[in-house]
Amino acid sequence: MSSLSSPNETPARRERRKEARPGELLQAALTLFVEKGFAATRSEEVAQRAGVSKGTLFLYFPSKEDLFKAVIQENIGKLFPLWSDEMQQFQGSSSDLLRHCVQSWWTQVGATPASGIVKLVMSEAQNFPEIADYYQREVIAPGRELLCRVLARGVASGEFRPMDVSQAVYTLIAPMIFLMMWKHSVGACAPSAQMKDPEEFLQLQVDLLLHGMTSKAS
Amino acid sequence: MSSLSSPNETPARRERRKEARPGELLQAALTLFVEKGFAATRSEEVAQRAGVSKGTLFLYFPSKEDLFKAVIQENIGKLFPLWSDEMQQFQGSSSDLLRHCVQSWWTQVGATPASGIVKLVMSEAQNFPEIADYYQREVIAPGRELLCRVLARGVASGEFRPMDVSQAVYTLIAPMIFLMMWKHSVGACAPSAQMKDPEEFLQLQVDLLLHGMTSKAS
Amino acid sequence: MSSLSSPNETPARRERRKEARPGELLQAALTLFVEKGFAATRSEEVAQRAGVSKGTLFLYFPSKEDLFKAVIQENIGKLFPLWSDEMQQFQGSSSDLLRHCVQSWWTQVGATPASGIVKLVMSEAQNFPEIADYYQREVIAPGRELLCRVLARGVASGEFRPMDVSQAVYTLIAPMIFLMMWKHSVGACAPSAQMKDPEEFLQLQVDLLLHGMTSKAS
Amino acid sequence: MSSLSSPNETPARRERRKEARPGELLQAALTLFVEKGFAATRSEEVAQRAGVSKGTLFLYFPSKEDLFKAVIQENIGKLFPLWSDEMQQFQGSSSDLLRHCVQSWWTQVGATPASGIVKLVMSEAQNFPEIADYYQREVIAPGRELLCRVLARGVASGEFRPMDVSQAVYTLIAPMIFLMMWKHSVGACAPSAQMKDPEEFLQLQVDLLLHGMTSKAS
DNA sequence: TATGAATGAGTCTTCATTCAT
DNA sequence: TATGAATGAAGACTCATTCAT
Section C7-25 average pLDDT = 69
Nearest chain B Cα to A205, which residue? Answer: B171
Query: For chain D, which chains pass the contact test of at least 3 CB pairs under 8 Å?
Result: C
Above pLDDT 90, what percent of chain A? 79
CATH number of D73-217: 1.10.357.10
Burial of A71 (C-beta count, 10 Å sphere; 0-12/13-18/19+): buried
- Per the CB < 8 A criterion, the answer to whether A210 and A95 are in contact is yes
**Per-residue pLDDT tens for D86-126?**
999 999 999 999 999 999 999 999 999 999 999 999 999 98
The DSSP result for A62-73, as a single string, is SSHHHHHHHHHI
Q: How far is B73 from chain A (nearest CA, A)?
A: 17
Mean pLDDT of chain A: 90
**Closest Cβ–Cβ partner in A36, A136, A205 for B186:** A136
* Long-range own/partner contacts, residues A104-113 (CB < 8 A, 24 or more apart): A105/A176, A106/A176, A106/A198, A106/A199, A106/A202, A108/A79, A109/A75, A109/A76, A109/A79, A109/A180, A110/A176, A110/A179, A110/A180, A110/A198, A110/A202, A111/A198, A111/A199, A112/A75, A113/A30, A113/A31, A113/A34, A113/A75
Distances (CA, A) of A3 to A9, A14, A217, C118, D1: 8, 18, 66, 61, 14
Give the start-end residues of each E strand in chain D: none
Nearest to A171 among B126, B185, B205 (CB): B205
Query: Which chain D residues are closer than 8 Å to C170 by Cβ?
Result: 178, 182, 195, 201
Rounded CA-CA distance D141/C193 in Å is 8
DSSP state of B6: -
Helix (H, G, I), strand (E, B) or coil at C214: strand
The tens digit of pLDDT for each residue in B64-91 reads 999 999 999 999 999 999 999 999 999 9
Backbone angles phi, psi at D11, to 5 degrees: -50, 140
pLDDT of C193 above 90: no
Q: Give the closest nucleotide to C54 (alpha carbon vs C1').
A: F8
- CA–CA separation, A71 and A29 (whole Å): 7
Cα D18 versus chain centre, distance = 26
* Closest Cβ opposite residue D174 in set C129, C141, C178: C178
- Say which amino acid occupies D47: A
The arithmetic mean of pLDDT across residues B9-26, rounded, is 67
Q: What integer is the mean pLDDT of A175-184?
A: 96
F10 C1' closest Cα residue: A42
Mean pLDDT score, D160-188:
93
Question: Residue C177 is nearest to which of D132, D178, D204, comparing CB atoms?
Answer: D178
Q: What are the chain B neighbours of A178 within 8 Å (beta carbons)?
A: 170, 173-175, 177-178
Closest CA–CA distance from residue B61 to any residue of chain A (Å): 24
Contacts of A124 (CB under 8 A, 6+ apart): A37, A38, A39, A131, B123
Chain D neighbors of C218, CB-CB under 8 A? none
What confidence tens digit (pLDDT) does each residue in D179-196 have? 999 999 988 888 888 898
Residue A11: pLDDT band by 50, 70, 90 thresholds?
A: low
Q: Which residues contact B47 (CB under 8 A, 6 or more apart)?
A: B25, B28, B53, B54, B56, B57
pLDDT band of residue A15 (cuts 50, 70, 90) is: low
Q: How confident is the model at residue B212 (pLDDT cuts 50, 70, 90)?
A: confident
Give the C-alpha separation, D75 to D139, whole Å.
11
Q: How far apart are CA D42 and CA D57, in angstroms?
A: 11
Mean pLDDT of D53-76: 96
From A137, A102, A53, select the one nearest A208 (Cα to Cα): A102
Distance A179 CA to E3 C1' (A): 50
Dihedral sign, Cα of residue B132, residue B133, residue B136, residue B138: negative
Share of chain D above pLDDT 70, in %: 89
Which residue has the least CA–C1' distance to nucleotide E11? C42
Shortest-distance nucleotide from A43 CA to C1'? F12
Residues in B touching A185 (Cβ below 8 Å): 121-123, 125-126, 132
Within 8 A of A186 by CB-CB distance, chain B residues are: 122, 125, 132, 135-136, 140
Inter-chain CB proximity C126 and D188 less than 8 Å: yes
Note whether D125 contacts C186, CB cutoff 8 Å.
yes
Residue to test with chain A: of B126, B145, B209, most A Cβ within 10 A = B126
**What are the residue boundaries of the structural domains of chain C, listed by start?**
13-61, 73-217
C&D contacts, CB < 8 Å: 141
CA distance A53 to chain B (A): 26
Q: Is there a contact between A61 and A25 (Cβ–Cβ < 8 Å)?
A: yes
Per-residue pLDDT at A21: 87
> CA–C1' distance D41–F6 (Å)?
39
Q: What's residue D25's pLDDT? A: 96
Q: Which nucleotides of F are covered by protein (CB under 7 A)?
A: 1-21
CA distance D166 to D48: 44
Closest CA to A76 of A137, A153, A20, A21: A137
Q: What percent of chain D has pLDDT over 90?
A: 77
B153 vs B159: CA distance, rounded Å: 8
Report the 10 Å Cβ neighbour count for D158.
10
Query: Is residue D135's pLDDT more than 80?
Result: yes
Mean pLDDT over residues B178-197, rounded?
Answer: 89
Coil, strand, or helix at residue D17?
A: helix
For C204-207, which contacts have Cβ atoms below 8 Å and span 24 or more sequence positions?
C204/D171, C205/C175, C205/D171, C205/D174, C206/C98, C206/C99, C206/C102, C206/C172, C207/D212
> Are B133 and A37 in contact (CB < 8 Å)?
no
Tell me if residue C70 falls in helix, strand or coil.
helix
Rounded CA Rg of chain D: 21
The whole-angstrom separation of Cα D200 and Cα C171 is: 11
Residue C34 Ramachandran class (φ > 0 left, ψ -120 to 50 alpha, else beta): alpha
- Residues of chain D with Cβ-Cβ distance to C204 below 8 Å are 171
* Angstrom distance, B65 CA to F20 C1': 51
Q: In angstroms, rounded to a whole number, what is the distance separating the alpha carbons of residues D196 and A77? A: 58
Give the other-Cβ count within 10 Å of D88's Cβ: 8
Cα dihedral sign for D175, D181, D184, D186? negative
Residues facing residue A214 across a β-bridge:
A160
Is residue D209 within 8 A of residue C174, CB to CB? The reply is no
Q: Is the dihedral of CA A117, A121, A127, A132 positive or negative?
A: positive
Please give the CATH number for the structural domain made up of D2-61: 1.10.10.60
Closest chain D C-alpha to C33 CA, distance in angstroms: 11
CA distance to partner chain A, nearest, from residue B212 (Å)? 6
Give yes or no for a contact between C87 and C146, defined as CB atoms under 8 angstroms apart: yes
What is the fold, at CATH topology level, of the domain defined by A13-61?
Arc Repressor Mutant, subunit A (1.10.10)
Note the pLDDT of residue A13: 61
What element of type H or E holds B113?
none
**Measured between alpha carbons, how far is B85 from B147 in angstroms, rounded to an integer?**
13
